Amino acid sequence: MYYMSPLFMFICGLLVFSFNYEHFLITLLSLEYIVLSLFWIIYLYMLVSLFDIYFIMVMMTFWVCEAVLGLSLLVSLIRSYGNDYFLSFNLIQC
């Protein structure tokens, strides 16, 4: 029963990520939603299995670094192109 809501969150996050949205911010938010559901699943698994929860702190550190990297990419895209539309910038250019 406790695993159903994080799995539902994970599936909803994957559906939002898989749709072709126009904004880069929506993609980043869906990735963070997936990470939040994975955190919840791992926490419940370690709580039930009586494992050490120190591993969750290491995973949270990596996930926060991933979020900061995504936000820095968003800021650099907005500064260089003026918006966060996927269609406004060409990915072939360097």
Place of tokens 């695993």: 3
Stated pTM of the model:
0.79
Q: Which residue has the higher pLDDT, 1 or 35?
A: 35
User: Which pLDDT tens digit goes with each residue over 31-76?
Assistant: 999 999 999 998 888 888 888 878 888 888 999 999 999 899 888 8
Domains, in order of start, for the chain: 4-81 (1.10.287.3510)
